[in-house]
Amino acid sequence: MSGADFAARALAIGGFAKLASTDAGSGGELVGYRASSPQGTGRTVAEKLDDWVSVKDFGAKGDGVTDDTAAIRAALAALVSRSELFYGYRMGTGCLYFPEGVYRVTENAVLTDPVYLHRSSLVLKGAGWRNSIIWLDPSALTGEAWFYDNGANNTQWGMVCEDLCFSGGTTWQDADPPTNINNGPANIDPKCNGFKISGPGWESGFVFTRCEFRFLQMVYHAAGNNNADTHRFIGCVVKKCRNVNYINNLQAFSVGWTGCYVDQIFGNFLEYGPNCSGGGGNFLMQGGAIIALQESGDTTPHYVVKATAGGTSLSNAPITFSDVRMELRGNYHAFAYVNYGSTTVIARGCSFFNTGSADKNLAIIGGYTTVRFENSAFDNGTGEGKFTYQIGEAGDGQRGKNAHLHFANGCLIDLALFYYGANTISWAGNGGRLTIDEDCSTSDVADSTSGARTYARGCDVFGPKTITGGGLAVNTKHRTRKRYTINPFFSATQLTGGSGLTGTSVQLPPLVRIVEVWAKIEPGQGNSNNIRIRIGNDDKSVIYAETTVGPQNAGQFVVARDLYIPVEYDNNKGRVRFWFDNGSGGNTSASSAGRIDGGVVYE
């Protein structure tokens, strides 16, 4: 071999060695890459691979045994530190990839770094929520821990998590492979939690897409006193967790869950803490399902929405569930509002299913709160458990009478209110208001404080001011005024003799209010003898309206408007009586050639 050949071979061997080396300036930095498109520009393979940073590039094993905490922290630091500073903040830091595997972490806040993540915008991506699992191992923890907890640090401004599973639990496995026995709530360790966002400085824009949250004590906690808002969960799964959302931040607005499956939760789905006074609303869940269970030995009631911690208002911001199925088992209930005012919760196009024999409170309403069901359906299942409702709250003061339960837009309330014929509505404190729109599917309501009553559809039902004995009569207001007219209500033969003093009575539907009464005699009818028409309650003890005494043939007309008299105000059982006399209480000598028309308008 010539010297030139030997030198060429040595150079080639040295080049291959540099290509295989992981040293700086070697390996992928020596290999070129160009996109297949003719418009593509050239760069190195190293530059191409740097589009995403993998935790395995920093030593993570993903075997479910090795502690990957330090490797994940190192990967985050490397990803963020390479980004440019923008007014002192790191922006647009790129994507951190978790290949298929189980990444065991043993410290609090592994996804938080007050130095590197300051105001960064980070993307965490996995290979699918059944494939890339980050496991917070409670056996290595000494206290409460979260995947993300910024504390008082101004850290993230927007984080996107995609196709990942965040698991707690003594084991991360949903089921034990050898026995295929499902791991239940006993596998939940209270030390393991999801994301705690304190919002010391506009910590907004967290988005979770196609993620699973498994065996966590709490999935999402908005804490602090500044913006922790505009957070979204899209196409996610919550599997066997205790509590899902705890909002205890004055400015935690616009939290949304879209198309999510919340399967087997054992605590509250959405709870508001005392720091929400004056804010914290605008919550939306659209599509999906909530399957809520009772943990063995747990006798504490739990709720889909619980707002009982003492705050005064959620600033009129609605809490809305749209097209959501809620399956309530055991001691699980729907909406409980006690001390929060100016709050509205809306269930629109939802279905509620009571799986057992225990009664479920669909609404406990106090303060200035409104709970509104729109176009929703209710299924008591086969266990004969009722859905119940409480309007007003003991100790809620005068504001409690503004508590409002509303069924609207075609709700199927036969099963909501009247299944098995039992009382379902109860009034407490200063009562409140029940509204049932005309287009809802039934007209019977049971009021447990004053015995069985029939509430007409299309009405507002106002609860008693006080609850004493059987309760006071319940006043109603129909949305559509009804006209009851008898024409004529006195025939010609009744205009003479003593029948006029007796008159005739009109029976009105129960629990309506008299708005207007009227009566008239057309001019030119009858004779010139005096007549007076009177309208009052059934026993004539109250006069609603009467004409001036005058000749029959001169014509008479009387109307009394804006009366708003409850028909059960006294013992007259909802009757209005019409009668006539000679002006001094005696029989009239009016002619039988005339007639009297009249009627009642009620609502």
Mean pLDDT of the chain: 76
Residues 6+ apart with CB under 8 A from 485: 597, 598, 599, 600
User: What average pLDDT score do residues 474-485 get?
Assistant: 40
Considering 463-467, 477-481, 496-500, 573-577, the range whose residues carry the highest mean pLDDT is 573-577
Give burial (CB, 10 Å; 0-12/13-18/19+) of 211.
buried
Residues 6+ apart with CB under 8 A from 202: 157, 226, 227
The larger pLDDT score, comparing residue 484 to residue 268, is at: 268
486 pairs with which residues across the strands? 598
Give burial (CB, 10 Å; 0-12/13-18/19+) of 340.
buried
- How crowded is the C-beta side of 416, counted as CA atoms within 13 Å? 29
pLDDT at 114 over 80: no
pLDDT band at 284 (very low <50, low <70, confident <90, very high): very high
Q: Compute the distance between CA of residue 46 and CA of residue 49 in angstroms, rounded to an integer.
A: 5
* Element holding 20 (H helix, E strand): helix 3-20
How far is C-alpha 57 from the chain's CA centre? 44
Q: Give 165-200 pLDDT, tens digit per residue.
A: 999 999 998 766 666 667 788 899 999 999 998 876
Q: Compute the distance between CA of residue 246 and CA of residue 311 in angstroms, rounded to an integer.
A: 14
pLDDT at 549 over 70: yes
Note the pLDDT of residue 418. 52
pLDDT at 103 over 70: yes
pLDDT at 315 over 60: no
pLDDT at 370 over 90: no
Q: Give 377-386 pLDDT, tens digit per residue.
A: 888 776 667 7
pLDDT at 538 over 80: yes
Q: How large a percentage of the chain has pLDDT more than 70?
A: 65
pTM: 0.71
Q: Give 304-313 pLDDT, tens digit per residue.
A: 998 875 554 5
> Which of 397, 244, 254 has its CA nearest to residue 314?
254
Note the pLDDT of residue 482. 46
Q: Give 17-54 pLDDT, tens digit per residue.
A: 555 555 565 554 556 656 666 656 667 655 656 667 89
Note the pLDDT of residue 400. 55
Considering 123-137, 185-199, 325-339, 515-529, the range whose residues carry the highest mean pLDDT is 123-137
Domain positions in the chain are 482-602
Domain 482-602 = CATH 1.25.40: no
Considering 241-245, 328-332, 563-567, the range whose residues carry the highest mean pLDDT is 241-245
